[in-house]
């Protein structure tokens, strides 16, 4: 089975511009354009957040689509399920707005849609090859990659660091 891709965050790359949040909201708008999205009612919502980790880090936070997803287990109405692509999604027809998922999510990734009275979260942009936030990031702080490929990159970098200064 092919490995699904995840959104990884390179925290040292984020400059806190929040371009990802705009791209996310536009991707979840009706018009799919920025100038159209800002005129829509209700306003489209971003599913990615940029947090400030004092004293020096800006951290994009997006749903991890956990393998053992607490939200999915906790959802009392059975609205949360995992797709064949490994993406954890909320079925808005079934969602009753009890916010149990909000209580159990360790990352705080569930939002409340006040107009529709439903929970919302990252859906990994099912209509796009690369999620909008990843495509928009100007510094490459968001990486859309499979776990083995991402881990291999980290290993290559770490191995280089380990032997640095030891000569060849």
Residue environment code for 114-128, b if the CB has 16+ CB neighbours within 10 A, otherwise e: eeeebbbbbbbbeee
**Least CB distance from residue 19 to another protein, whole Å?**
6
Residue 44 binding another protein, by CB under 8 A: yes
The residue among 23 and 95 lying less far from another protein, judged by its C-beta, is 23
CB of 21 to another protein, least distance (A): 7
Residue 129 found at the interface with another protein (CB under 8 A): no
Of positions 4, 13, 17, 64, contacts another protein by CB under 8 A: 17
Give residues in contact with another protein (CB under 8 A). Answer: 17-19, 21-23, 25-26, 34-35, 37-39, 43-46, 114, 135-136, 138
């Amino acid at each position: 089975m092919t490995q699904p891709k995840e959104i990884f965050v390179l925290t040292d790359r984020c400059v806190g511009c929040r371009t990802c949040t705009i791209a996310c909201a536009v991707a979840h708008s009706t018009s799919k354009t920025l100038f159209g999205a800002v005129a829509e009612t209700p306003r489209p919502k971003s599913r990615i957040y940029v947090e400030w980790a004092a004293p020096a880090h800006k951290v994009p936070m997006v749903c991890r689509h956990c393998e053992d997803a607490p939200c999915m287990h906790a959802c009392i109405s059975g609205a949360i399920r995992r797709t064949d692509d490994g993406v954890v999604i909320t079925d808005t027809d079934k969602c009753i707005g009890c916010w149990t998922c909000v209580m159990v999510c360790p990352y705080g990734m569930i939002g409340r849609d006040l107009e529709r009275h439903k929970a919302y979260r990252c859906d990994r942009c099912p209509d796009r090859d690369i999620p909008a936030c990843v495509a928009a990031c100007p510094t490459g702080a968001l990486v859309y990659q499979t776990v083995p490929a991402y881990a291999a990159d980290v290993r290559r970098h770490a191995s280089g660091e380990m032997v640095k200064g030891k000569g060849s």
